[in-house]
């Protein structure tokens, strides 16, 4: 039943047997999955399970050792520049320019992605209004608290209306209220049709996703909606599901 | 795309508390101070004269030495051992011993001997000092000969293009080379490594910005700054040292831009292989030392051992220092510099293709 519904929807990410080895270490081990348009896809796993490596391959930052994948309809290996033009990316490390002002960061990344010069200004104001950040337009990013920076980085990542936005632990080190607000931003983006691919360590956040995959030692050991996962593993919440699966890991956490 | 990136680079430079000041202050200080300091002229050499002759002629020789701008007569004694003691203590740099019977043999036989002993701990001072002293003495003997009979061969040295052998004229063009190397070669490279360290380069790598565009956006601001600073240096050279390029300014700037292209490429290659500032700084420091010491900036390449001369062939700075001195002092045109220009062009192609090939957006 679920499958039929999914097949009607457009696949925006399709991965088959994707593998990445560094020397003798297999960071990502033969993973396959699809992500559909407008979906919020949670990409879970313990530290060192291979999430970031997998995500970097999808974004064209890292070349797969074997297997293939397509993102937004482009081959991740051969057409990585076209992939890049159609995605937004927010890395684990906070990555806006600290010595640029808020509006200057919007202008820079908007310009890089080819947003029309005249449109950048009004769209920046609009985005800041949504965030309630109008007053900080001329502040240097370095002067803002972490939670604000993260929300800002997300807004910059979706400024050019990408088809998919990749978020690598976007809420790390952020307080629960700000995390809640951050997820509201994610929902708004998803409502506009932007597919959200997000990694997280917070299991309450996993519950907000449409579907989640759980990576253990470079493999995807489970992939379903949070509700189905809980019933399969007979768990009260996602925390129990995660501990059940990731507890069997042979890999040391980093 | 390029426009936004260049805009960003200028904002970075302007917001940096240190960099804009450094960019203006450092070259200005370098141009104002170093030509005076980096001077191989030797002055104020202390001479201890051991006059054992007590004659009119020996007294005149001592007088002539003390009258020269290069020498101070530190002591006149009668024993060589006393003079040697002053040399030990550092009160004298050179001993001139005029032996007994100096005047007599000069008058009777037409020649006489003197002894020069120099403290060679400071090699330059000893060498140059002895040479000056010899030239004063031969001057003196010429004067004496003129009064009697003229003979022997007279050598009249003439230093072309830098008639007064002014070391400042030598140094000013060479300092400009160092300025360009640091501003256009090393600063943009360090800037790229710092983006690697902070992690922002990953955010750029995940955008459609091409590697060529990214690199160009890093270089263009420093190229502009480099030429502004070069112009300041030319003006300082003219105002303070009265040194103007003898060749055309167009040739000067044209060849400077070729060199800038070489050092930019070189810096980029280093930045591509460095993951931390520390690493990049150390590698740059290493090459900067080799480039400078093997460029002919301080010591002539011709007086290096053969193997070192071969190494200098791979030093782009050597060629550009030659070019600068030739354009600045001799007024050479492009046709006289084909060897140096083709070497620089070769380096430019090599380093820049290497830089573009080794820059990876993904790994």
8 Å CB contact between B112 and B64 = no
pLDDT bracket for residue B161 (50, 70, 90): low
Q: Percent helix, strand and coil across chain A, each rounded to 5?
A: 40, 25, 35
The whole-angstrom separation of Cα B171 and Cα B176 is 9
- Say what the pLDDT of residue A1 is: 43
Candidates B272, B231, B243, B294; CA nearest to B355 is B272
- Say what the pLDDT of residue B160 is: 64
pLDDT bracket for residue A136 (50, 70, 90): very high
Q: Is the pLDDT of residue A2 over 90?
A: no
Residue B207 shares a structural domain with residue B339 = yes
CA of B182, closest CA in chain A: separation in Å?
24
Residue B313 shares a structural domain with residue B179 = yes
Residue B24 shares a structural domain with residue B52 = no
Residue B49 shares a structural domain with residue B29 = no
Q: Is the pLDDT of residue B123 over 50?
A: yes
Q: Which one of B98, B120, B147 terminates a domain? A: B147
- Say what the pLDDT of residue A6 is: 52
pLDDT bracket for residue B152 (50, 70, 90): very low
Residue range(s) defining the domain that contains residue B106: 45-147
Instruction: Tell me how far apart the 2 most distant CA atoms of chain A are, in Å.
Output: 54
Q: Is the pLDDT of residue A227 over 90?
A: yes
CA of A58, closest CA in chain B: separation in Å?
10
ipTM over 0.90: no
In-domain check, residue B64 = yes
Q: What is the CATH number of the domain that holds B128?
A: 3.40.1710.10
CA of B301, closest CA in chain A: separation in Å?
46
Minimal Cβ distance to A99: which of B15, B199, B204? B15
Domains and CATH numbers, chain A: 38-64+78-246 (3.40.50.300)
Residue B128 shares a structural domain with residue B204 = no
Question: Least CA distance to A95: which residue of chain B?
Answer: B200
Over range A218-238, report the average pLDDT: 92
Over range B75-102, report the average pLDDT: 84
Q: Looking at the complex, does the CB of residue A63 fall below 8 Å from at least one CB of chain B?
A: yes
- Say what the pLDDT of residue B151 is: 47
Tell me the whole-structure pTM to 2 decimals. 0.79
Give the residue, B81 or A40, on which the prediction is more confident: A40
In-domain check, residue B97 = yes
Residue B315 shares a structural domain with residue B182 = yes
Over range B241-269, report the average pLDDT: 91
Q: Is the pLDDT of residue A250 over 80?
A: no
Q: What residue spans of A77-175 are helical by DSSP H? A: 80-85, 102-112, 117-131, 146-157
Domain count, chain B: 2
- For the stretch B142-145, contacts whose Cβ atoms lie closer than 8 Å and that sit 24 or more positions apart, written own/partner, are B144/B57, B144/B106
- Say what the pLDDT of residue B150 is: 44
- Say what the pLDDT of residue B45 is: 85
Candidates B313, B316, B210; CA nearest to B261 is B316
CA of B321, closest CA in chain A: separation in Å?
38
Residue B142 shares a structural domain with residue B244 = no
Q: Looking at the complex, does the CB of residue A114 fall below 8 Å from at least one CB of chain B?
A: yes
In-domain check, residue B363 = no
Cβ separation A113–B207 shorter than 8 A = yes
In-domain check, residue B245 = yes
pLDDT bracket for residue B149 (50, 70, 90): very low
Q: What are phi and psi of A237, to 5 degrees?
A: -150, 175
- Say what the pLDDT of residue B356 is: 85
Instruction: Tell me how far apart the 2 most distant CA atoms of chain B are, in Å.
Output: 93
Which residues on chain B are in Cβ contact (under 8 Å) with A114? 1, 208
pLDDT bracket for residue B44 (50, 70, 90): confident
Q: Is the pLDDT of residue B303 over 70?
A: yes
- Say what the pLDDT of residue A5 is: 52
A194-222 pLDDT per residue, tens: 999 999 888 889 999 999 999 999 999 99
In-domain check, residue B302 = yes
Which residues on chain B are in Cβ contact (under 8 Å) with A96? 200, 203
């Amino acid at each position: 039943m679920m499958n039929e519904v999914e097949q009607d929807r457009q696949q925006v990410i399709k991965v088959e047997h994707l593998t990445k080895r560094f020397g003798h270490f297999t960071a990502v081990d033969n993973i396959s999955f699809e992500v559909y348009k407008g979906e919020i896809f949670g990409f879970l796993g313990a530290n060192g399970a291979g999430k970031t490596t997998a995500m970097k391959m999808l974004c064209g930052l890292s070349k797969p050792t074997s297997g293939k994948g397509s993102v937004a309809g482009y081959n991740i290996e051969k057409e990585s520049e076209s992939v890049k033009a159609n995605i937004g990316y927010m890395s684990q490390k906070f990555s806006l320019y600290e010595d640029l002002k808020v509006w200057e960061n919007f202008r820079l990344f908007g310009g890089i992605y080819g947003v029309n010069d005249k449109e950048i200004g009004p769209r920046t104001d609009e985005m800041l209004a949504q965030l309630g950040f109008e007053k900080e337009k001329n502040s240097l990013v370095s002067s803002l608290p972490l939670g604000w920076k993260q929300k800002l980085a997300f807004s910059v990542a979706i400024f050019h209306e990408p088809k998919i936005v990749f978020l690598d632990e976007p809420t790390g080190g952020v307080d629960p209220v700000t995390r809640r607000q951050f997820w509201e931003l994610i929902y708004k983006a998803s409502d506009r049709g932007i597919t959200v691919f997000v990694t997280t360590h917070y299991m309450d956040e996993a519950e907000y996703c449409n579907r989640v995959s759980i990576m253990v030692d470079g493999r995807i050991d489970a992939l379903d909606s949070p509700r189905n996962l809980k019933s399969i593993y007979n768990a009260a919440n996602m925390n129990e599901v995660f501990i059940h699966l990731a507890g069997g890991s042979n890999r040391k956490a980093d | 795309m390029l426009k936004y990136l260049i805009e960003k680079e200028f904002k970075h430079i302007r917001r940096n508390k240190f960099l804009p000041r450094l960019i203006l202050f450092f070259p200005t200080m370098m141009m104002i101070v170093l030509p005076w300091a980096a001077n191989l002229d030797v002055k104020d050499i202390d001479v201890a004269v051991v006059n054992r002759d007590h004659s009119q002629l020996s007294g005149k020789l001592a007088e002539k030495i003390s009258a020269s701008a290069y020498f101070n007569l530190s002591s006149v004694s009668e024993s060589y051992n006393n003079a040697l003691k002053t040399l030990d203590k550092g009160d004298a740099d050179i001993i001139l011993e005029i032996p007994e019977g100096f005047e007599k043999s000069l008058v009777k036989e037409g020649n006489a001997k003197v002894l020069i002993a120099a403290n060679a701990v400071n090699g330059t001072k000893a060498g140059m000092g002895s040479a000056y002293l010899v030239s004063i003495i031969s001057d003196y003997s010429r004067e004496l000969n003129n009064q009697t009979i003229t003979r022997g061969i007279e050598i009249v040295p003439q230093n072309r293009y830098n008639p007064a052998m002014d070391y400042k004229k030598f140094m000013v063009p060479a300092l400009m080379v160092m300025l360009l190397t640091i501003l256009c070669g090393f600063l943009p490279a360090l800037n790229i490594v710092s983006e690697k360290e902070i992690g922002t380069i990953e955010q750029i790598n995940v955008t459609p910005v091409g590697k060529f565009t990214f690199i160009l956006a890093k270089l263009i601001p420093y190229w502009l700054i480099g030429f502004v600073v070069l112009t300041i240096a030319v003006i300082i050279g003219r105002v303070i040292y009265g040194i103007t390029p003898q060749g055309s300014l167009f040739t000067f700037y044209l060849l400077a831009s070729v060199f800038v292209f070489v050092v930019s490429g070189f810096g980029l290659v280093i930045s591509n292989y460095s993951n931390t500032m520390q690493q990049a700084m150390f590698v740059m420091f290493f090459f900067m030392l080799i480039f400078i010491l093997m460029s002919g900036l301080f010591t002539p390449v011709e007086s290096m051992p053969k193997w070192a001369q071969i190494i200098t062939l791979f030093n782009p700075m050597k060629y550009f220092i030659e070019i600068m001195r030739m354009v600045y002092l001799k007024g050479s045109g492009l046709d006289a510099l084909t060897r140096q220009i083709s070497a620089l062009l070769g380096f430019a192609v090599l380093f820049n293709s290497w830089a573009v090939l080794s820059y990876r957006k993904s790994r």
